Amino acid sequence: MPHPDVLEKLVSLAKRRGFIFQSSEIYGGTGSVWDYGPLGVELKNNVKARWWNAMVRQRDDVEGLDAAILMHPRVWEASGHVAGFSDPLIDCKTCKARFRADKLQDAQCARKPSKKPGEHGDCQLTEPRQFNLMFKTFMGPVEDSAAAVYLRPETAQGIFVNFLNVQQATRQKVPFGIAQIGKAFRNEITPGNFTFRTREFEQMEMQFFVEPGTDMEWFEKWKAARREWHIGLGLDADRLQFHQHGEKELAHYARAAFDIEFDFGGTLGFQEIEGVHNRSDFDLKQHQEFSGKRLEYVDQAANKRYLPYVIETSVGADRVTLATLVNAYREETVEGEQEGRTVLRLHPALAPITAGVFPLTKKDGQPEMADRVAAELRKRFPVFYDDAGAIGRRYRRQDEAGTPFGITIDPDSTKNGDVTIRFRDDLRQIRVSAERAGDVIAAYVASDVATAEAGKAGTA
């Protein structure tokens, strides 16, 4: 069965619960730029931390980097972006709208009645012309072409130009990689679908430098490893697929390329969330030529020097964060209750809040005990304390926020020193001593499950 389209509902939930807001909303908004609210920043930080952990901390053959957004303008000539990073554009001289020539069939004219570009009698469509997607600005006080710089359209080039710096500083031997997380900017002509395609976004990129001839072997290894990483985030395996780039799709730098696609549901369907590319020695060769600096790797043991080939894994932090939300969104009926619930079944390690703490009533020492429990848990993970309203409503609020565990303090708690842990996904409840609540939850988070039954974290 096809997955339903939940994007519109998510946009509304994201605003209501403080995941994602439209940028500069009080001024009418900025096109395709979004701000992450209190819950959203935690979720996206968790995604990024998980990537950094898997790609840098857990490996001794990948080093971290945080290169600047502004780079020497020659970088973008060498990389091919000045000449080739463009989309074909068609203007309508009548309504001033712009359309991508290659997406004209799917485009909609803004005027009413709703028609396709060219279908109104007075449409005046121009011939296609190339429009560069890089944002241009000026460095220093003078706004002339000599001072022009670009906001980087990908983080990868910061890695290529630092290849020898990192290799020499860390004494890494090929094969090894460099990874970084950072903002990238593209003046997209047809942005949209919430945070799927935006003009400002974050990439998590890794370039793995290998000896030519071993590149396809590494390409296959990284392809498999990256798919596993997405499954580890909780994305359903049947919503993930590879898409191999055909001759015409291949970027100017790529020898081989696969997209990892996620099924966003509805008409959007399967879309790229990550690219795995074999970039050959294209980038290092270009930078060597344009900078005049030798960028070869010296293999002392084998007494040879060469320009390494590069396997790149490039994933959008915002796109993956959106995928986790789409994957997690459910509208469910609850047995014995008239009102259903909206729940985000987020992976417990990604959830912005790990545990909600709820005194059943505001009397008999329950708030005091709940305060103490919350303060203890807060030392280990994000906690939300809520004593306002009926307990059912408080659970529902945390379900919508994706909080995997709820801890309730009731009249028996103050007598016996124990609490109830409620599981977001299967709604089961277990009773544990207040002191052990933190360990029990930590065990569930570490075991990557948020149900009382599945996984049997062992300590419950």
Q: Who contacts 390 (Cβ-Cβ below 8 Å, separation ≥6)?
A: none
Element (H, E) at 176: strand 176-185
Is residue 274 a contact residue for ligand GAP (CB under 6 A)? yes
| Pairing relationship of beta strands 355-359 and 383-385 according to DSSP bridges | parallel
What long-range pairs does 390-394 form, CB within 8 A, spacing at least 24?
A: 391/358, 391/360, 392/337, 394/356, 394/358
Is residue 403 a contact residue for ligand GAP (CB under 6 A)? no
Q: How far is the CB of 205 from ligand GAP (least distance, A)?
A: 6
Eight-class DSSP state of 56: I
Among residues 149, 156, 350, 409, which is the contact residue for ligand GAP, using CB under 6 A? Answer: 156
User: 2 to 21, contacts with ligand GAP by CB under 6 A?
Assistant: none
Q: How far is the CB of 206 from ligand GAP (least distance, A)?
A: 10
Eight-class DSSP state of 171: T
Nearest to 260 by CA among 279, 282, 237: 237
Is residue 315 a contact residue for ligand GAP (CB under 6 A)? yes
Question: Which residue, judged by CB position, is nearest to ligand GAP in the bound state?
Answer: 316
Q: How far is the CB of 274 from ligand GAP (least distance, A)?
A: 5
Is residue 280 a contact residue for ligand GAP (CB under 6 A)? no
Cβ proximity to ligand GAP: between 193 and 451 the closer is 193
Among the candidate windows 41-49, 227-235, 270-278, 380-388, which touches ligand GAP by CB under 6 A?
270-278
Burial zone of 249 (CB within 10 Å; 0-12 exposed, 13-18 middle, 19+ buried): exposed
Is residue 261 a contact residue for ligand GAP (CB under 6 A)? no
Which 3 state secondary structure label does DSSP give 457? coil
Q: How far is the CB of 437 from ligand GAP (least distance, A)?
A: 38
Among the candidate windows 5-13, 17-25, 198-206, 434-442, which touches ligand GAP by CB under 6 A?
198-206
d(CA 440, CA 432): 8
Is residue 180 a contact residue for ligand GAP (CB under 6 A)? no
Q: How far is the CB of 188 from ligand GAP (least distance, A)?
A: 5
Among the candidate windows 120-128, 314-322, 325-333, 416-424, which touches ligand GAP by CB under 6 A?
314-322
Is residue 314 a contact residue for ligand GAP (CB under 6 A)? yes
User: 335 to 394, contacts with ligand GAP by CB under 6 A?
Assistant: none
Among residues 17, 44, 81, 186, which is the contact residue for ligand GAP, using CB under 6 A? Answer: 186
Among residues 177, 234, 316, 356, which is the contact residue for ligand GAP, using CB under 6 A? Answer: 316
Cβ proximity to ligand GAP: between 230 and 424 the closer is 230
Among residues 63, 318, 399, 400, which is the contact residue for ligand GAP, using CB under 6 A? Answer: 318
Which 3 state secondary structure label does DSSP give 252? coil
Q: How far is the CB of 7 from ligand GAP (least distance, A)?
A: 14
d(CA 239, CA 264): 8
Compute the C-alpha angle 27/29/35, nearest 5°.
115
Q: Who contacts 190 (Cβ-Cβ below 8 Å, separation ≥6)?
A: 99, 100, 103, 107, 197
Cβ proximity to ligand GAP: between 34 and 395 the closer is 34
Provide the β-strand partners of residue 212: none
| Pairing relationship of beta strands 200-210 and 309-316 according to DSSP bridges | antiparallel
Among the candidate windows 14-22, 56-64, 308-316, 410-418, which touches ligand GAP by CB under 6 A?
308-316
d(CA 105, CA 171): 53
Is residue 206 a contact residue for ligand GAP (CB under 6 A)? no
DSSP string spanning 345-404?
---TTT-S-SEEEEESSSSTTHHHHHHHHHHHHHTTS-EEE--SS-HHHHHHHHHHHT--
Q: How many CB atoms lie within 10 A of CB 292?
A: 7
Nearest to 164 by CA among 288, 290, 314, 304: 288
Is residue 158 a contact residue for ligand GAP (CB under 6 A)? no
Q: How far is the CB of 225 from ligand GAP (least distance, A)?
A: 16
Is residue 275 a contact residue for ligand GAP (CB under 6 A)? yes
Is residue 188 a contact residue for ligand GAP (CB under 6 A)? yes
Which 3 state secondary structure label does DSSP give 219? helix
The answer to whether residues 261 and 272 touch, using CB atoms and an 8 Å cutoff, is yes
Among the candidate windows 79-87, 268-276, 303-311, 443-451, which touches ligand GAP by CB under 6 A?
268-276
Is residue 272 a contact residue for ligand GAP (CB under 6 A)? yes
Cβ proximity to ligand GAP: between 106 and 412 the closer is 106
Contact residues: ligand GAP, CB under 6 A: 154, 156, 186, 188, 197-198, 201, 203, 205, 272-275, 312, 314-316, 318-319
